[in-house]
Amino acid sequence: MTSSYHLLYSFRRCPYAMRARLGILFAELQVELREITLKHKPSQMLAISPKGTVPVLQLVDGTVIEESREIMVWALEQQDPQQLLNAEIFHQANALIDKNDNEFKYWLDRYKYADRYLEMTQTEYRQRGEGFLEVLEALLTKNTYLLGKSITIADIGIMPFVRQFAHVDRDVFYSLPYPNLQRWLQDWLQHSRFLQAMTKFQPWQEGDEVVIFCQNFSKAFDER
């Protein structure tokens, strides 16, 4: 890499890419952002990450980080002004993200794409996924955020997947008996960092002007 910025390949609607972008924003870092389309993945991304999934972060020293959880942790290890990597809850946060990634995501995919998975009905897939929602609801009955009064890596690591689950059928989701989870999600959907994370960019092409993704986009654009 010749750029002075770390390079992030991302896809706006991917929940894995969302949480990577949130980690970078909460760490108040700046990276070069390349938005991609899944149907036309750039050869430059595939050259550093042949598996072809986002997010992919290439550091200025050439190191490639291909997993969203690792990108979140890497970013917050650089700087963590809001202490999302609180050592006291880090083990609990990891366990919760594990459950999200290894169990909830399985049912989420089948709920969202029920026409591809005919072993059960969409309602049955949704109900299986609700097992995790019940865990989150119980946590949020006691706390503003999943693990306390402050945002942690668990919140930014899990919220994009709950959002995706809710958006399969918003009417159904908001009719379910999870008022604290619904409040938590609504708060996140209006959170300034999430709104920044969801800024729309045109898909990157070779020769495009560099897009600097950071906490203050207007500043970044003014400096170009």
Query: Is the per-residue pLDDT at 125 higher than 70?
Result: yes
19 in any annotated domain:
yes
Give residue for tokens 């909460």.
26
123 in any annotated domain:
yes
Query: Is the per-residue pLDDT at 118 higher than 90?
Result: yes
Residues 50 and 107 placed together within one structural domain of the fold:
no
Residues 184 and 199 placed together within one structural domain of the fold:
no
Is the Cβ–Cβ distance between 177 and 171 less than 8 Å?
no
Domain boundaries, position 102: 90-189
Confidence of residue 214 (pLDDT cuts 50, 70, 90): confident
59 in any annotated domain:
yes
- The whole-number pLDDT of residue 215 equals 56
- The whole-number pLDDT of residue 224 equals 31
Residues 183 and 200 placed together within one structural domain of the fold:
no
Distance of alpha carbon 111 from alpha carbon 209, whole angstroms? 39
Give residue for tokens 């995706």.
164
Residues 96 and 71 placed together within one structural domain of the fold:
no
100 in any annotated domain:
yes
Residues 165 and 199 placed together within one structural domain of the fold:
no
Sign of CA dihedral 28, 221, 191, 135: negative
Residues 33 and 103 placed together within one structural domain of the fold:
no
Average pLDDT over residues 13-28: 98
1 in any annotated domain:
no
Residues 53 and 115 placed together within one structural domain of the fold:
no
Average pLDDT over residues 42-54: 97
Q: Is 222 helix (H, G, I), strand (E, B) or coil?
A: helix
Residues 32 and 108 placed together within one structural domain of the fold:
no
The count of domains in the chain is 2
Query: Is the per-residue pLDDT at 196 higher than 90?
Result: yes
Sign of CA dihedral 141, 197, 81, 97: positive
